[in-house]
Amino acid sequence: MSPPILMYHELRLRGRSLCSDKPGYTRYVIDAEDFRSQLKFLREQGASGQGVGTLLERQTPPPAISVRQTPSALVGITFDDGCETDAIAAASALAETGFGATFYVVSGFVGRPGYLNETQIRDLAGHGFEIGSHTASHSYLTGLSEDNLLRELSVSKERLQQMLGRPVVHLSCPGGWWNSEVAAAAKSLGYHSVSTSNLTAAADVDPFCLPRYAVMRNTTADQLFRWLTGRNAWRRRAKNTVLDGVKRVVGIPMYYRLRGRLLGE
Ligand SMILES: [Zn+2]
């Protein structure tokens, strides 16, 4: 079993409004305090949180320790969207536990209200966190022409590299929309990995289709533990296979209407 990778989004801080109050957005938002508790829980379970780059470096050899029903020694921690709470809430909680993480930033959102600015992105990188691309405009990549796909991936990569003065080689797909063209485009532009949010990926690690578990408002400690130990992974994979089939057949808007019903959300 490859190390599980968790996917987080904006964190909720008391008295602070969110980047969006739409239900489809807020169900991915967890309280900053809950995030802190989850990291402590992971550490108590013997897990060590790392960014995707570190995870891939350590992947071979030696393999991650993963005895069935015992949590993986390594767990990937990732954040999508580049919200300001990455810098003002997540980073300090991660530092307290000594965990690393990858922050995937939408380059076109940098400096907007509620999102990271350039200084904050540089500070995160300066503290050892990985900065990845979450595209230039948060477009769903599988619906784009080849030109637009390449533009989303290259413009964001270059803008972030200019900001940081170092290569940006990890990408995550907005909305989890991934296909083999996205993987090929990322590879051709010099990315080293692509994170998705589906769990249908094979047991062998394909760095250009990394599965992630979405930590949501209703995610429990028990659920986190099951993800760490791989228990019930087959059931989630089966559910995601069904959803992936639906995604291909009905297209993006209809998919989201059906998804809620299928997942009972
Ligand atoms: Zn996103």
What pLDDT does 118 receive? 98
Tell me the CA–centroid distance for residue 223 and ligand 1, in Å. Answer: 22
pLDDT digits (tens, 9 = 90+) for 86-99: 999 999 999 999 99
Å from CA of 163 to ligand 1 middle: 20
Which stretches of the chain are DSSP H helices?
23-26, 32-44, 52-59, 85, 91-97, 118-126, 146-164, 180-188, 221-229, 233-250, 252-263
pLDDT at res. 258: 56
For the CA atoms of 134, 87, 227, 133, the dihedral, rounded to the nearest 10 degrees, stands at 10
Quote the distance between the C-alpha of residue 158 and its chain's center.
20
- Report the SS3 class of residue 69: coil
Each residue of 225-234: pLDDT tens digit?
888 887 655 5
Name the band, by pLDDT with cuts 50, 70 and 90, for residue 174.
very high
Closest among 165, 162, 41 to 93, alpha carbons compared: 41
Q: Say which CATH topology domain 5-231 has.
A: TIM Barrel (3.20.20)
Distance CA 73, CA 48 (A): 6
Distance from Cα 80 to the centre of ligand 1, integer Å: 5
Q: What is the dihedral of CA 156, 77, 200, 57, to 10 degrees?
A: 80
Span from the CA of 130 to the centroid of ligand 1 (angstroms): 17
Count of positions (residues) in the chain: 265
Distance 70 CA to ligand 1 centre (A): 31
Q: What is the pTM of this model?
A: 0.85
Q: How far is the CA of 8 from the centre of ligand 1 (A)?
A: 10
Q: How far is the CA of 62 from the centre of ligand 1 (A)?
A: 32
Does position 45 have pLDDT exceeding 80, yes or no? yes
Task: Parse the chain into domains and list their residue ranges.
Answer: 5-231, 233-265
CA torsion angle for 163, 165, 167, 168 (degrees, to 10)? -20
Q: Which of 50, 145, 52, 151 is nearest to 107 (CA)?
A: 151
| E strand or H helix at 105 | strand 102-105
Q: What is the pLDDT of residue 67?
A: 44
